[in-house]
Structure 1
Amino acid sequence: MNVVLKAFKDKTNDKVYFAGDTYDGERTEELIGLGYVQDDKPKKKTRAKKTAE
């Protein structure tokens, strides 16, 4: 489930989602890209490798 960051009306079912609600619809990737929904899958953190000097 993804957390809503900004209120919006879903165009597929006309339901209004408010900040703090959870969204589990079909357009998750699109809404994450637009900044309306927070991704529930944390991204892997990578660290730079030290190079020999």
Structure 2
Amino acid sequence: MADDPALRELMDAVSAKIGAIGEAEDRQLLVRVESEFEHAVRAFLEAAAQRIR
């Protein structure tokens, strides 16, 4: 799956959000970035599941 360009893009988005969580300067930003991370993970998992079926 790592060779799939669409999944690679989604994995990169997840990785970027992990970095952003560590850089959040206050609680409000942290909560927002965590939500964005959860959405990114969900999008990746849904796309990966479609390819496995």
- Normalised by the length of structure 1, the TM-score is 0.22
TM-score, length basis structure 2: 0.22
More strand as a share of residues: 1
Relative to total residues, which structure has the larger helix share, 1 or 2? 2
